[in-house]
Structure 1
Amino acid sequence: MKKKSKQRRNFRTPISAAIIRHNSDSNFKNNHNENTNKHVSALLDQLRHESRSNDIQNSTFELFPSLPMPASNYLAGEYDALEQRIRGENESLRQLVSGPIPPKSWRGVWYKAADLNLRKIKRGAWDDHSNCQVPTLTSICIDTITLNIRSYKAYKAHTYFSNLPTHLKQYTLSTLSIHDPLTDDLLPLFSNDSKYVELDIAFSDISIESFRNHFWKTIKEKDIEKDIVEDWEDLIEYSDDDVRDILSVQLFKVSRNNETTRKEKDMKNYISKLPDLRRLNCGFTKNIPIIPLATLLVSTLPLLTHLSIAGCSDFETGPHALRIISRLINLLFLDISYCEWISDNILLQFINWGKDLKSLKLLVAVGCINLNDPEGIRKQLGNHRKRFELWTEIKV
């Protein structure tokens, strides 16, 4: 038994020794690898630290390596100022858009968007009372038409556009007034339709001659019936269908007490092609003089209920135009915003509030810097009509 035990011990000894040697080698390798990793990490940290220090100390030299030190310092200051300005622009852009800052080549679009927002704010009162509540799919279609509007000027495309329903043309005009205001060359696309209820030409660059020639027609004296209506108030007894018939064949006296001006007499040869028109937005138009426009509207469109002349005219012509417009007895909404010539005295003296604009419910005068006592005006005008409102700021 002793011999066998000795043999077993001798048999296990070489295996144990091999295991011990293997474990020792593994420990050595692990320790060596660990020391190597620590050494490499320390070396990388040192290099990074040196790199940062060199960047800070030699930034001027790296920007302008071939210049002497004073010039380098000067240009480095210019460079820092430029960087600060860019950071300021980036910060302002962050407030306008979400996500990453757009590239420089895109930034003109954002500045243009700011102008579009300003236009939307200025016409806010009109939009609140407009019928242009467009469904989402229709809105997408209108945006597509607007972006490609100039491609419809060709002969066949013009025919296709003319066949669009009237309400889509109305929405297209409203969209154009914000994104690509109407011009004389685009006006023929919209003039072959007599069923407009709303006409939005805000911010347009069209002339009054072009506007009149496309939406009014001239008549000869021999075609005028002898029985001329003396005043728009005489139309109250007629139905809507009867009024349309009258508008197609008769003329109406613009002024009372035979105080017809020369320009008003010139307008007596025109009849509107739009008998259903009730809403007209002429705000911020550039080339349409206000007095001929007011005369044309009063003499041919007595059924207007909504009118905007925001941002139009000046101190010389504005008050007289307002006096003419006050003869539109069916007006419910009148927007005179952003007209610097509007003041307390002009509103109270150039309109006979006891007799004119009896139907008016809302007068919008946002941005009229010379309007000093809105509360006093609101009180005086409210005495002549029920449920009258005067807005001097945008209602949100």
Structure 2
Amino acid sequence: MNEICEIVPSQKENNKINVCGYLMVQDKIRKSTYYWCCEKKKLENCRGRATTIFLDGLHYLKGFTEHHHSPQASNAEVAKSIAQIKQKARTTRDKPVRLIQDITVRMSQEYHPYMPSSNSLRSRIKRVRRSEMPPQPQTLEEINIPDFLQFTFNGVRFLVRDFVVGEYRILLFTTQANIQHLSQAPFWMMDGTFKTVPVIFMQLYTIHAPVGGDNSRVLPLVYSLVTTWMPPEADEVVKWFEEIYVHGKIRRHLRNGNTIRSDPLFPPQLWSVYDSIETGVPRTQNIAEAWHRRWDILLGQSHVGLYTIIEQLQKEQRSVELQIECIIRGEQRPPTKKALIDREKRIMTICNDRENRSLMEFLRGIAHNLSL
């Protein structure tokens, strides 16, 4: 027999061979002679066998034993198509729907009905890509971020900086378009979260800003993984801020470990957000804090691996890009609750009437609209 048998990559990475329409798995090898048995040997106790000679990169059929079931050519074609999909999943970052379509449109109509469902194929693509993910680093020295995690799903550079200063490290994620939106924003909001970050980092710090002019939405535009709360060089600035604005200067230390401080020059009770009322800047960081609460829910667990959190940041960046596209399209932002709109109007009315009120009347009016 001089028939050439086609190798078919299997779903479990063990190559099979197509012999007369039957899929067969490798049994043993002796020099250049390969022995094959039916893939249904265990399932249906099929005793079909084949022998091939491997020569010049091809398998030539040498012997063949009949099977007790009929051949099904679709099995080989389906296995080949699935193998092609999995290979493209390893080598590209295309979306699953595109991978599936690129391969299935080339199939013959008679074989296409035997393909697994789209959901099943998507699951296989995800499993392949998860298996390609390198081990999660346990120390800063082990960090070696794969190329596909350094770009957005659109192929734009996402990891823009990797700072190493002594024993500290900062990974900064953003895009050129995000920086452009930041430069045009009237204000920024910043907040950090500690719960979900990898154990080798201290926090995930994000910068949010409004995008879209009059139809703006506050979106996360910069993400940074940092290994420290604050670099040592900033200790003096932090100390000054605490003494002047928060706790006051230390007057003396008691033997029990407590300290006595003087009153701060500008205590938190006097911090004013009056200017924010006139300019329309949010008086709180509730938007950024709500994003971080949502982020904790999305990840679903504490201290995930570094590559896992970067992959989620890629998905979040994709979500931001879709929201910006909705803004460009002219889609209106979600309506604000009527109770919040009415409260802001009342506060604005009180601020505009400031000159006609005594200090106590002004404060009482504001207090009526605040809730703790």
TM tier, smaller:
under 0.3
Q: Is the helix fraction higher in 1 or 2?
A: 1
Q: Is the strand fraction higher in 1 or 2?
A: 2
Relative to the length of structure 2, the TM-score reads: 0.25
Relative to the length of structure 1, the TM-score reads: 0.24
Which of structures 1 and 2 has the bigger CA Rg? 1
